[in-house]
Every structure is written in structure tokens, then in C-alpha cells.
Structure 1
């Protein structure tokens, strides 16, 4: 597996985990964050990071996931409206006569 493919797969995994965490009540998330921290720390040590650096890497990963959960929550808020600096969706070039947008 190439580095790019591995990174893409990892980012999809992180996104799916963040989506699941965003559905949980805040008070139920800490144990999941702890699990992410332990798993990431073990993986970092496995690839050769010293324990101190592995702990920093794991904490950074947890903070990244927490931030992603926050972004997901903000985007799914019922009163969420696009800000003035957001551009409207651009229709796909193949769409003729429809107002749907493909992502």
C-alpha cells in the first residue's frame, strides 16, 4: 500500500470515528477518546517513536478528533446557515437543467 493510500484510508477512518462520536452525548465521549489515545500511542511506539514522543502524537490525534467532532456538530446544528464568506455550491458541469450539486 502506498503512503498516499494509507493516509487516505486513515483519514476516512478518523472521519467515521468522529461522526460516531458526534452522535454520542458529550459525557459518553471521554472513554472513546481514551481508547483513541491508547491505540495511537501503541501504534506510534510500534513504528519506533520513543514513549514520550508517542504520547505527544497520541494527544495530538485526540485533539484533532475532538476538533473534527466540533466541526461536525457545528455543521449539523439545526440553526446552521452558511456564513457570508461561504460560496454557494457549484453545479457539476454534466448537470443540465437540474439544480443538484454533486460532490
Structure 2
């Protein structure tokens, strides 16, 4: 299994768990699968267990399981679950509310 395959499996499982379903098409947009903004925030929170520096905006910018998995694989090429690399500490906190920083 490739790193991308491992990542896509982890992302699809996390999204399915967030939505409460098992039927996830990796090429269909998150909103088309029934997500809303609140769901995306919960999904990003769930993914942060594996990618601690993932920002909610990263999920909005890569709106399918396949696109987000490709982004995560490139951002952490060593293996799935490795932290994303940010250019500065502030970048990883950009999507947090002021009281969460």
C-alpha cells in the first residue's frame, strides 16, 4: 500500500465517521456528500489527531477526500500521520479563534 493509499483510507474513514456513514466517494466534494461548515470543522479536528498542524482552511481548499489526501501526502511525504510543515508557528494557528490560540 502506498503512502497516498494509506492517507486516502485514513481521510475517508475520518470523513465517514464525521458524517455517520460508510458510503464515501473520494472524488465527490465534501459538501456534495452532505457536509456543511460545521461538519468540516469537526472533520478537520478529527484529522488533527494524525496531522496536528492541519488547518480548517486546508480542508476547504482541498474539498474532496482524494484532493485532501494528495495534499496531506505531499505535505508530509515520510508517512501518513506526520505533522504538516508550516513556515512559521502562526501559520498553523491561522484558522483558530483568538481564545484557542
Q: Same fold (TM over 0.5)?
A: no
Q: TM-score if structure 1 supplies the norm length?
A: 0.30
Greater Rg over alpha carbons, structure: 1
TM value normalised by structure 2: 0.30
Q: Considering fraction of residues, name the structure with more helix.
A: 1
